[in-house]
Amino acid sequence: MTTLLETRYRAVLRLLPAYYRQAREEEMVETYLWDLDRDTQDQSRPTLGETASVAALALRSRLAASGAPRRYALLGSTARHFALFAVLLQATAALVDRVLGLTWASTHGSSQWDMFVSAFTDQGPLFGVVEVAEWALPLLWTVGFFALVHDRRRLARTSVLLAALPTLWPFVGPLVSDSVVPSDLWFAVVTALFAWLSALALCAAYHRDAPAAALPVGSPGLVFAAFAVVTGASIVLLPGAPDTAWAPATCFLVGAVGWLVLRSRSADRGPAGGAVALAALGLLLLAVRVAALYPWLGLPLPAVYLGGALGQVAGLTLLVVVLGAVARRDLVRH
Amino acid sequence: MASKGMTTAAFFVLTALADQPRHGYGILREVEELSDGAVQLRVGTLYGVLDRLTADGMIVLDREEVHDGRLRRYYRLTDEGAQALDAEAERMAAGASAAKQRIAEGRKAPGAAANPTTGPGLAGGLA
């Protein structure tokens, strides 16, 4: 007769995908219940540690590498591509933003430098710490990217989780201080979503069994430098256009078009997850772009800013559609 | 303990299978004994390790038995698994030997252990 503990353990095993349960469930139940006293099994439950180990196994088998059924291998490949591209975009955007900000402040007289420093010092110790964290922590996207491409997964996970933290301040700040909920709440929401989806995708998809991260072309340093140059150039050449969505959206547009061109010239179409991941990333960036622009609509805006933002909206929409079509074709082909 | 390519859990699972095929629970118990209780694998963790070792060709399914209506699968080491375990054991033994030698040399050096903080700190400062 089935005991309550067995029933409960089987319920925990339902976290696992069906293909895995079919192969392993009976064996795992046998291993789990082997030396447990049958008389006490109706009073016990699977421990938290045991449940956590099954949950981790469920995550690894759903975001699987090769050898798993097609849909799970595809899900894993998509999540890994999404994480890699998203972390690269955020790394270059954060680094270039800070380098340009520091350069501007340090080369345009003492008033600019005082204004830069006052952002950290003029609002009391709590906000000072928050400002420093908001300025410094996003630089860890870069650490996360290079740790990932050099297969230092633990460092990559820690770095991106810390890098994403500042995006929570708009929601946590009003709870712990007298700061107010930001007026552009949707922008704060989609920005946090972008950061946390990137960080969590990296943490979940680059598990122990996953293959090492590999860029479709070039060395990591070269690709990072190219993205940084595109980001910096887009800000310097159109100084009236940039807002916080500008740099990652520009990089995505250039990177995704480059990816499509490379793909069209190569006989090897690469893994199916690439196009799906880029389409998902493009959709997310489109949401960030629209949320950044939306609060300003109806106000008299500089033509450069409005034109740049609307151009990005159009470009992102077009690319998402194209990438979606490519992804669909890849899915059928695989 | 294990090299970058082989985790501690994988090392002990391979060691547990070195002398004879074992089933899931047998491996769990053997790993705990071999590590003096330092490594206690959860069932979810064990099957993750078994999946990985199977995919890497280090272990294979030896046989299946059914006891009281439940499935018991026995795993055994492959030649490749035995070689990998042997190489890892050699590497660990060499590391342990080097550590012992250094400790012995440190003890022989006059005053080395008695006055360890006379030089500058790691950062080269005075603190």
**How many separate domains does chain B show?**
1
- In this complex, do A31 and B28 lie within 8 Å of one another by their Cβ atoms? yes
- What's the confidence (pLDDT) of residue A65? 76
- What's the confidence (pLDDT) of residue B120? 45
Q: Indicate whether B38 belongs to any domain.
A: yes
pLDDT tens per residue across span A105-140: 888 778 878 777 777 777 777 778 888 898 999 999
Q: Token pair of B34, please?
A: 């071999």
- In this complex, do B43 and A30 lie within 8 Å of one another by their Cβ atoms? no
Given a cut of 60, whether residue B113 has pLDDT beyond it is no
Q: Indicate whether B127 belongs to any domain.
A: no
Residues of A in contact with B43 (CB under 8 A): 28, 31-32, 50, 53-54
Q: Indicate whether B3 belongs to any domain.
A: no
Given a cut of 60, whether residue A190 has pLDDT beyond it is yes
Q: Indicate whether B32 belongs to any domain.
A: yes
- What's the confidence (pLDDT) of residue A197? 96
Structural domain range at position B73: 8-104
CATH assignment at residue B15: 1.10.10.10
More confident residue, B69 or A281: A281
Of B45, B52, B72, the CB nearest to A30: B72
Q: Indicate whether B23 belongs to any domain.
A: yes
Residues of A in contact with B24 (CB under 8 A): 27-28, 30-31, 34
- In this complex, do B23 and A31 lie within 8 Å of one another by their Cβ atoms? yes
Q: Which residues pair with B75 in a beta bridge?
A: B22, B61
Q: Give dist(CA A10, CA A21) in Å, integer.
A: 10
Of B44, B55, B71, the CB nearest to A26: B71
Q: Which helix (H) or strand (E) holds A21?
A: helix A18-33
- What's the confidence (pLDDT) of residue B124? 38
Q: Indicate whether B116 belongs to any domain.
A: no
Given a cut of 80, whether residue A297 has pLDDT beyond it is no
Cβ atoms < 10 Å from Cβ of A117: 11
Residue A168 φ then ψ, to 5°: -85, -15
Instruction: Name the residue among A181, A211, A225 with its Cα closest to residue A91.
Output: A225
Q: Which residues contact A21 (CB under 8 A, 6 or more apart)?
A: A13, A14
Residue B70 φ then ψ, to 5°: -110, 150
Secondary structure of residue B71 in the 3-state scheme: strand
Predicted complex ipTM exceeds 0.90 = no
Q: Indicate whether B109 belongs to any domain.
A: no
CB A236 within 8 A of CB A97: no
Given a cut of 80, whether residue A269 has pLDDT beyond it is no
Separation of CA B35 from chain center: 8
- What's the confidence (pLDDT) of residue A161? 97
Which amino acid, B63?
A: R
Q: Give dist(CA A66, CA A74) in Å, integer.
A: 9
Residues of A in contact with B42 (CB under 8 A): 49-50, 52-54
Instruction: Name the residue among B23, B122, B14, B2 with its Cα closest to residue B71.
Output: B23
- What's the confidence (pLDDT) of residue B127? 33
The count of CB pairs under 8 A between chains A and B is: 63
- In this complex, do A54 and B43 lie within 8 Å of one another by their Cβ atoms? yes
Closest Cα in chain B to A66: B55
Residues of A in contact with B70 (CB under 8 A): 26, 29-30, 33
- In this complex, do B24 and A209 lie within 8 Å of one another by their Cβ atoms? no
CA distance A58 to chain B (A): 9
pLDDT tens per residue across span B20-79: 999 999 999 999 999 999 999 999 999 999 999 998 899 999 999 988 778 899 999 999
- What's the confidence (pLDDT) of residue B111? 65
Secondary structure of residue A297 in the 3-state scheme: coil
Q: Token pair of B60, please?
A: 């294979």
Separation of CA A295 from chain center: 24
- Maximum alpha-carbon separation in chain A: 82
Q: Indicate whether B2 belongs to any domain.
A: no
Separation of CA A155 from chain center: 16
Of A27, A35, A53, the CB nearest to B42: A53
A64-101 burial: b if 16+ Cβ within 10 Å, else e:
bbeebeeebbbbbbbbbbbbbbbbbbbbbbbbbbeebe
Given a cut of 80, whether residue B121 has pLDDT beyond it is no
pLDDT tens per residue across span A228-258: 999 888 888 877 667 888 888 999 999 999 9
Chain A interface residues (partner B, CB cutoff 8 A): 24, 26-35, 49-50, 52-57, 60-61, 67, 208-209
Which amino acid, A85?
A: F
CA distance A331 to chain B (A): 25
Q: Give dist(CA A80, CA A67) in Å, integer.
A: 16
pLDDT tens per residue across span A88-101: 999 999 999 899 88
Q: Give dist(CA A328, CA B34) in Å, integer.
A: 51
Strands B22-23 vs B70-77: parallel, antiparallel or unpaired = antiparallel
Which amino acid, B31?
A: V
CA distance B113 to chain A (A): 35
pTM, full prediction: 0.81
Strands B59-67 vs B22-23: parallel, antiparallel or unpaired = unpaired
In the sheet that holds B70-77, the strands lie side by side as: B22-23, B70-77, B59-67
CB A155 within 8 A of CB A147: yes
Q: Which residues contact A153 (CB under 8 A, 6 or more apart)?
A: A147, A206, A208
Q: Give dist(CA A305, CA A151) in Å, integer.
A: 39
Chain B interface residues (partner A, CB cutoff 8 A): 7, 23-25, 28, 42-48, 51-52, 55, 67, 70-73
Q: Give dist(CA A127, CA A302) in Å, integer.
A: 31
